Amino acid sequence: MALFQGLQQKLQQKLSPQQIQLMKLLQVPTAMLEERVKEEIEENPALELGEELPDQTEKELTDELPEMEETTTDDEFEINEPFGEYDEDDIADYRVKEDQVPEIQVQGNSFHPAVSSLHEMLMEQLGLLNLSFDQERIAEQVIGSIDDDGYLRRDPVSIVDDLAFKQNIIVEEALVEEVIDKIQHFDPPGICARDVKECLLIQLRKKLLLQTSISVKTAWRIVDFHFDEFTRRHYDKIIKSLEIDEAMLKEALQEIRKLDPRPGGLATVLNKAAHYIIPDFLVYNNNGEPELTLNQRNAPDLRISADYKDMLRDYEKGSKTDKRQKEAVSFIRQKIDAARWFIDAIRQRQETLTLTMQAIINHQHSFFVTGDESSLKPMILKDIAEKTGLDISTISRVANSKFVQTEFGSFRLKHFFSESLSTESGEEVSTKEVKNILQEFITVEDKRNPLSDDQLTEMLQSKGYNIARRTVAKYREMLNIPVARLRREL
């Protein structure tokens, strides 16, 4: 095969290390930015907290450093990077998908108890029991197999195998069952159950030890013998089978509703530490106009170490042929470069956050003035990308895990993104408006005869919304509202 030479043109997009660093910083929420800055300072001694000193100007420092191959441009944010660290769901179809849980909307900084370790709490109670060596090892294995909801997700046979292979402890399945029974008496009630039915029965068992009322006994019989009918709300079958009247059934159902199907969640009250949602943006009403302020935690004062700059000067004055001095100069320059890149990335992060949030405020101006959610307009990532001139993936990063505090509460940025729906008049409205109306319909419905999806569809269509039944069902599920049969009450 003959060899030949030729010219070839090729168009490529490559991300520089600085751009990759910036993309990662954009995803970091304010609450975690301080920790990220501390990590960078620990890794790079040339980076310091504090305002830039007059004799440490960027121009002076750049003049002293060697020429670098610049790969960044003014529009570096607009690169649609192929390997950014973001969830595909966040930008699928160029929109932000709704979470399956209600948005957090509270005034000021949101307060949420931090989740304490459920396993630590169970281990403390385990220490109060007088167990043999084998029983203690089994108990530790069982507790380690309990998930955050408080359920035991491994069967006794698997636990026996785990002990045999991992710890060389041979035990019988019956002994494992015995230890599981002991742990099921721990707090919170219902812990270490294998399924929801067993979880409810454990809690009812504890109630029966304290009170022997007819309603608790009836609740026990319903869960133990008619759990399928109970979950399907076939109340007529339960009344007929247990030979009770509707009033007794109501009392029993009230007892069941007091039980916790997720006992592991109770561990949250045992942690005294508090976790606050720190807003990334603050929006105030200034004479009828929303005014944006970036949380100051997003703008840490960073500078390049004066000591490292002095060391660079000293080494530059030394011998140019000494190998060790050359290595020292190379190391110092590398650290100063990294520090300068990080400071620049933080600055660009601030600019990108501000630019994106201001575009959201402009698009949803009416909401930020009135706080009326019905005034939210349809908005997708592409809309904000076009307004800012940034890439859709960049907008996705900014919208992810960020909060804004307003006079009407604190909201996730994702809260303001939604698709559009047409009315009979041809007007486009936000799907959030439709969801709010759907929520209102279901809130005021007759719980003895809840509205079906067909009825909800007709009611929405009567208000002028062009919506299909399957869309109503999808929105209902997104609002975590069960089907009509499961909303029925006596």
Whichever domain contains 473, its CATH number is: 1.10.10.60
CA 122 – CA 140 distance, rounded (Å): 9
Task: Determine, yes or no, domain membership for 283.
Answer: no
Question: Pick from 392, 388, 389: which is nearest to 359 by CA?
Answer: 388
Q: Which two tokens stand for residue 163?
A: 């002990």
For residue 13, what pLDDT is reported? 63
With contact defined as beta carbons under 8 Å apart, do 286 and 367 qualify? no
Task: Determine, yes or no, domain membership for 142.
Answer: yes
For residue 388, what pLDDT is reported? 92
For residue 358, what pLDDT is reported? 94
pTM (whole model) above 0.75? no
Q: Which two tokens stand for residue 36?
A: 């990220």
CA 467 – CA 488 distance, rounded (Å): 25
Task: Name residue 26's amino acid.
Answer: L
Residues 6+ positions from 413 with CB-CB distance below 8 Å? 357, 360, 398, 399, 400, 402, 403, 404
With contact defined as beta carbons under 8 Å apart, do 435 and 100 qualify? no
Please write down the long-range contacts of 220-227, taking CB distance under 8 Å and 24 or more positions apart.
Answer: 222/252, 222/253, 222/256, 223/197, 223/256, 227/197
Residues 239-259 pLDDT 10s? 999 989 988 999 999 999 889
Task: Determine, yes or no, domain membership for 212.
Answer: yes
CA 442 – CA 449 distance, rounded (Å): 11
Q: Domain total for the chain?
A: 2
Q: Which two tokens stand for residue 298?
A: 């997003």
Task: Determine, yes or no, domain membership for 156.
Answer: yes
Question: Pick from 401, 386, 302: which is nearest to 26 by CA?
Answer: 401
The end-to-end CA distance of the chain, in Å, is 86
For residue 336, what pLDDT is reported? 86
Q: Which two tokens stand for residue 80?
A: 């649609």
- The helix-helix angle for 235-242 and 246-257 (nearest 10°) equals 110
Task: Determine, yes or no, domain membership for 72.
Answer: no
Task: Determine, yes or no, domain membership for 147.
Answer: yes
Residue ranges in the chain whose pLDDT is less than 70: 1-2, 12-18, 52-116, 266-276, 298, 316-321, 422-428
Task: Determine, yes or no, domain membership for 163.
Answer: yes
CA 392 – CA 381 distance, rounded (Å): 6
**Residue 366 is inside which H or E element, if any?**
helix 365-370
For residue 266, what pLDDT is reported? 59
Q: Which domain holds residue 440?
A: 420-487
Point out the domain boundary residue: 242, 272, 302: 272
Point out the domain boundary residue: 272, 306, 338: 272
Query: DSSP of 315-332, one letter per residue?
Result: HHHS-SS-HHHHHHHHHH
For residue 90, what pLDDT is reported? 38
Point out the domain boundary residue: 246, 272, 298: 272
Task: Determine, yes or no, domain membership for 281.
Answer: no
